[in-house]
């Protein structure tokens, strides 16, 4: 008699797997047969996935919510699909895509259609991830243009910074003396002082 298993994955520990678990339990799966990983799918060194692989036997059925739970790119998804269906000889049911149910159509045509649908969906999933990364990059660039700063908050300059920079720029004192007067490391003062000079030059143009 075949056993029924489920696999769920979220990319970070902060993400919730509730939606995937709800879909899997609706398939009458026992909670002890549902394996959950909370880490990136960039490789398959995932403890629960590896434990599941050891459990699966021929004719068992593996349920997943969506095809991208098997991997993070086109090649990995196809590799895992073929390993599961052809080497381990288990059936896979993708809940988000009823066409990807290897229990149906085990003849040549059914297998051919499953392979075609799988390749198309894997390609779409990978492209969507690339698009998300590109949108994130563009969003960060746009935010920088608007003056949004990322990383550690910038410490405010001391009140005497502008006056001290004027004296330093005029040669009245050295950079180290100016830095000490502002209570700043010399390297920080030189960097901020250079930015101050550039701003002054732009205003004069």
Q: Is 106 in contact with 96 (CB distance < 8 Å)? A: no
H helix and E strand count, the chain = 7, 4
Q: Two tokens at 137?
A: 């990059």
3 state DSSP class of 18: helix
List the one residue out of 72, 67, 54 whose CA is nearest residue 133.
72
Is there a catalytic annotation at residue 66?
Answer: no
Q: Is 81 in contact with 69 (CB distance < 8 Å)? A: no
Tally Cβ neighbours within 10 Å of residue 12: 8
For helices 186-204 and 175-182, the axis angle rounded to 10 degrees is 100
Residue in 11, 30, 40, 187 annotated catalytic: 11
As annotated, the active-site residues are 11
């Amino acid at each position: 008699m075949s056993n029924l298993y489920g696999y769920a994955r979220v990319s970070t520990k902060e993400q919730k797997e509730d939606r995937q678990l709800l879909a899997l339990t609706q398939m009458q799966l026992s909670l002890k047969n549902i394996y959950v990983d909370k880490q990136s799918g960039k490789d398959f060194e995932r403890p629960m996935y590896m434990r599941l692989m050891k459990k699966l036997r021929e004719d068992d059925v593996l349920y997943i919510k969506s095809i991208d739970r098997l991997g993070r790119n086109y090649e990995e998804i196809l590799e895992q699909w073929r390993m599961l269906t052809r080497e381990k000889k288990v059936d896979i049911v993708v809940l988000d895509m009823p066409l990807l149910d290897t229990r149906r159509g085990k003849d040549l045509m059914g297998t051919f259609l499953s392979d075609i649908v799988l390749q198309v969906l894997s390609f779409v999933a990978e492209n969507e991830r690339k698009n998300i990364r590109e949108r994130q990059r563009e969003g960060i660039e746009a935010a920088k243009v608007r003056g949004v700063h990322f990383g550690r908050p910038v410490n405010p300059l001391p009140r005497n910074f502008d006056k001290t920079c004027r004296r330093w720029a005029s040669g009245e004192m050295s950079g180290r003396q100016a830095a000490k007067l502002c209570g700043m490391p010399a390297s920080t003062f030189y960097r901020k002082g250079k930015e101050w000079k550039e701003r002054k030059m732009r205003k004069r143009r």
